[in-house]
Structure 1
Amino acid sequence: MFEPQHSYFRKMITKTIVFISIIDDIYDVYGTLDELELFTVAIQRWDTKEMEQLPDYMRVCYLALINTTNEVAHEVVKKHGINVLPHLTKSWSDLCKSYLREARWYYSGYKPSLEEYMDNAWVSIAVPMVLVHALFLVTNPITKEALESISSYPDIIRRSATIFRLTDDLGTSSDELKRGDVPKSIQCYMNEKGASEVSHPFF
């Protein structure tokens, strides 16, 4: 989307992806489990009053996320007359719930099966959330069918996210796992099958 007329799309998708990086680090590195539970509930409620329950370092992120996402929804209402805020907030809620599930696994020392991991990981890679935002920022007109299908994450989104997740897992370092990340698909497979990690000659 390099054309000049798509500058707003590029700006807002960039902001969205930056929020993903920040929030991912909150769940993986900075937040205690109790704090992450509070943050996830706050995201689900999508109300600035929830800021009072959050620790200071989360408040700025939470308010900025609400303001930026509401700005996207406002822009769509102006252009198309459609309120997409419930779809945008659901995508953030689904992402944070998937992050919280991974955090619970980490804090409890639980090792998920590969199937259990992948059932959560296609959401936690954030592809569905980004694609939901992208759909509303570039699609004209936004059809009723698109609105109905996007919330259930059709197969094209699930499969794209799965490919992205598996690719991303190949690049996860042991340092990331030590600092608070859950085992990735490779480790889940190794734990489940008793397989060893053997380097491929092309890597």
Structure 2
Amino acid sequence: QRWSITCLDGLPNMKFIFQIIVNLLEELEEMLSKDGKQHYVYYIKEALKENVQSYLTEAKWIKEEYIPTIEEQTKVSYITIGLKLSLAAGYACMGDVITDDSFKWLFTDPPLVNACALVSRIIDDIATHKREQAEKHVASTIECYMKQFDASEQEAYESLNKKVEDGWKELNREFMITCKDINVPIAMRVLNFARTLGVIYTDRDNFTDPGIELINHIKALFVDDIVT
């Protein structure tokens, strides 16, 4: 919370990665200062603090072997999916289309962002469920659902897949509504986050073990020639 490297003297393992993050944000601050927008880094720091605080909550749950309710889990896991942090970092680098109001909108947790978090979190948890629960891992949406509703694993999958289906509809609806009030590129960043996770996590965990479909997507973007 204090954003001070000296606070980590007793946590050497964390100090290394924190120093890297500090250096990275200082470089970004210097880059943005050329356009008088160095204060945008403040919003990234605030999003990162929120993320780390939620990671700490998850770590406590793991240690206590606690399975939260869906409501408890949602408040934390919608943050640890990294959506707000990714958006804040992306917005800072989008040039004149972004203003302070863009960040203020983001930090109100608007319906568009919440819909994106729902879809992203559940498809992530479904795809990674079996691998993560074979390890010592925080209870996923599946475990929380099974405990709260006394459901089987298959029943949890079916119910949560339906929730994802409805979530995509809600996400598209909120996108259209949001674009009436803010610039389309700002809203599009949110939509594209869910789309990206859809590519990575639909049907399998392509993040941990990339399949040929994801490999072909990456090659098409960065390796293959563009056909004109």
Partner of 2:65: 109
**Stretch deviating more after TM superposition (86-95 or 175-184):** 175-184
Partner of 2:128: 172
Kept in 1, the 8 Å contact 2:41–2:92? The answer is: no
- In 1, the alpha carbon distance for the partners of 2:56 and 2:77 equals 12
Kept in 1, the 8 Å contact 2:31–2:38? The answer is: no
Given the alignment of the two structures, is residue 136 of structure 1 paired with residue 130 of structure 2, yes or no?
no
Instruction: Mark the CA change 1:147 to 1:77 in structure 2 (over 3 Å): closer, same or farther.
Output: farther
Given the alignment of the two structures, is residue 54 of structure 1 paired with residue 11 of structure 2, yes or no?
yes
The one-letter code of the counterpart of 1:177 is Q
Instruction: Mark the CA change 1:149 to 1:179 in structure 2 (over 3 Å): closer, same or farther.
Output: same
Kept in 2, the 8 Å contact 1:114–1:192? The answer is: yes
Partner of 1:30: none
Higher RCO, 1 vs 2 (CA within 8 Å, ≥6 residues apart): 1
Partner of 1:12: none
- In 1, the alpha carbon distance for the partners of 2:145 and 2:95 equals 39
Aligned-residue offset at 1:111: 1.1
Kept in 2, the 8 Å contact 1:80–1:142? The answer is: no
Kept in 1, the 8 Å contact 2:61–2:67? The answer is: yes
Partner of 2:28: 72
Kept in 2, the 8 Å contact 1:51–1:63? The answer is: no
Aligned-residue offset at 1:93: 0.5
**Stretch deviating more after TM superposition (86-95 or 178-187):** 178-187
Partner of 1:7: none
Aligned-residue CA RMSD in angstroms?
2.1
- In 1, the alpha carbon distance for the partners of 2:104 and 2:84 equals 15
Paired residues in the alignment total: 158
Kept in 2, the 8 Å contact 1:95–1:123? The answer is: yes
Matches within 5 A, 1:1-203: 44-55=1-12, 57-198=13-154
Larger-gyration structure (1/2) = 2
| TM-score, normalised with respect to structure 2 | 0.63
Aligned-residue offset at 1:112: 0.3
Query: Structure 1: 5+ residue runs without aligned partners?
Result: 1-43
The one-letter code of the counterpart of 2:47 is S
Percent identical residues: 24
Aligned-residue offset at 1:141: 4.3
Aligned-residue offset at 1:178: 3.7
